[in-house]
Amino acid sequence: MNAADIHVGKDANAPTIAHAIKAALPGDTIHLEPKVYEDYVGFYGKKGEPGKPITVDGHGATLDGSDALDPAKWKAVSPGLFAAEELLPRLDDAMIGRWFFLFDGKMQLMGRTSKGRSAALKKPEELQPGEWTFIKDPSREKPPSKNIYGTFYIKLEAGRTLAHANIRVPVRSAGVQMSGDNVHLVIKNVTATHPYNDGFNIHGDCRDVVFENIRAIECGDDGISAHESAQYRVDGFVSIGNSTGICDTGTAQTSYNRVFIAGCVGFDLYFLDAGRYKVTNAIVLSSSYNPFFVTNRANDTVEMDIDNVLIERIGPPTKAFIAAGSTVRAKRFTTKGLEFTTRGTFTRDGEADDEKIISLLGEDVRKMVVERKK
């Protein structure tokens, strides 16, 4: 059977991304358009074949995890203060820990992040225009369920209505998501933005999965994250304004080439547990609490290889950490404004070639590097 091209929103069997994925067979390519989709790409036990991957080509598409706020779900409490008791079908503490709203296109985290320091949630009466909070109601909880209940509050300038406010709510958990056994897949030329969790959230036992030229922008948690025994490689990744640039866990085996990370909040590079990880040709302009953190779990070892990587602090100097039971082997590795605390094994040889990295990342990234260093 010949490979097929499936065009989302154009072909009869592919009115949505989910329909296209369901219809795709080994060797097929799913095409998105270079526009914004209020949708996500989800693979749950999808399999291509050796030499015949199932491909999603975004052609510059953006997968937006947020929707416009629905005023019907909110009620006025006092001038400029609004409340919603049933904003989403379900909530848990992890979601609240990484929550945000978008006010006029600006991500409002309220000084909070899922991995790192977080300010306490304000009382509703303490809110200023453009701020939000959440008040939990433990009386509605139903153990052993981890679901929580409560009320969201947002504050606007007095006299401004919700209908005329430009507010968006993160309603999807990821831009690209995998769980179960997925094999022989390619995802390329796509941006994930504004989910309440990860831009690219990879669970399960995936094998021979490739990401090419992907971006994660302002995601509630990680730009990309491998879990369990996931195995994939990334060639071309931009991660900006997320809680964490990259966070890989479990026994995952991942490699990242041509990477640019900037503006993250909690961590930039965070590698854990018993995985095997590799990062090459990367620039990290770090303003996070934890620029570089490698740690194993009890009785396991974690290993990381680095080649031609620059980590430069944008802001005050801080520490990087390599835990006991962790091994980091670095070639051509330059750090500026970092002091390493090393309890495991750390070898390094040579300095990064900044210009080579930027040439590999492209002119768009060069402009971003220049702008963020001003």
| Element (DSSP H or E) covering residue 276 | strand 276-286
CATH number at residue 224: 2.160.20.10
Which range among 141-150, 167-176, 179-188, 197-206 shows the weakest confidence by mean pLDDT?
141-150
* 159 lies in the same domain as 242: no
Whole-angstrom Cα distance, residue 79 to residue 71?
A: 15
Closest CA to 123 of 83, 94, 161, 85: 83
Structure tokens at 307: 């080649």
Q: Which residue has the tokens 């290889």?
A: 305
Same domain, 88 and 233: no
Overall average pLDDT of the 349-370 stretch:
95
What is the band of 250 on the pLDDT scale with cuts at 50, 70, 90? very high
Residue 167 has a pLDDT of 98
How far apart, in whole angstroms, are the C-alpha atoms of residue 84 and residue 195? Answer: 19
Are 187 and 211 contained in the same domain?
Answer: yes
Strands across the sheet with 244-248, in order? Answer: 41-44, 176-179, 200-202, 222-226, 244-248, 267-273, 290-296, 318-322, 338-342
Examine the domain organization and report whether 20 and 121 are in the same domain.
no
Same structural domain, 55 and 199: yes
Choose one of 127, 144, 170: the last residue of a domain: 170
One domain, residues 96 and 195: no
Q: Looking at 140, 170, 200, which one is the last position of a domain?
A: 170
| Residues 332, 242 share a domain | yes
Mean pLDDT of the chain, nearest integer: 97
Per-residue pLDDT, averaged over 161-179, amounts to: 97
Same domain? For 325 and 204 the reply is yes
Helix (H) or strand (E) holding 331: strand 326-336
Q: How many CB atoms lie within 10 A of CB 371?
A: 9
Q: Whole-prediction pTM value? A: 0.97
Q: pLDDT value at position 23?
A: 98
DSSP count for the chain of H helices, then E strands: 4, 29
Q: Can you give the pLDDT at residue 116?
A: 86
* Angle CA 8–11–13, to nearest 5: 90
Please give the Cα distance from 108 to 251 (Å, whole number): 34
Same domain, 184 and 295: yes
Q: How many residues does the chain have?
A: 374
Mean pLDDT computed over 270-291: 98
C-alpha torsion sign, points 285, 287, 291, 297: negative
Which pLDDT score is estimated for 135?
98
Q: Which residue has the tokens 């900037």?
A: 262
What average pLDDT does the segment 83-88 reach?
Answer: 96
- Asked whether residue 51 falls in the same domain as residue 89, the answer is no
Distance between CA atoms of residues 180 and 170, nearest Å: 25
- Percent of the chain at pLDDT > 90 equals 95
Question: Number of structural domains, the chain?
Answer: 2
Going across the sheet that includes 81-84, the strands are 75-78, 81-84, 150-155, 131-136
Same domain, 309 and 325: yes
Domain shared by 239 and 117, yes or no? no
Per the CB < 8 A criterion, the answer to whether 104 and 166 are in contact is yes
Domain boundary residue among 170, 192, 223?
Answer: 170
**pLDDT given at position 54:** 99
Residue 1 has pLDDT above 80, yes or no: no
* pLDDT value at residue 374: 77
272, two tokens:
């854990």
| Domain limits for position 177 | 5-64+172-373
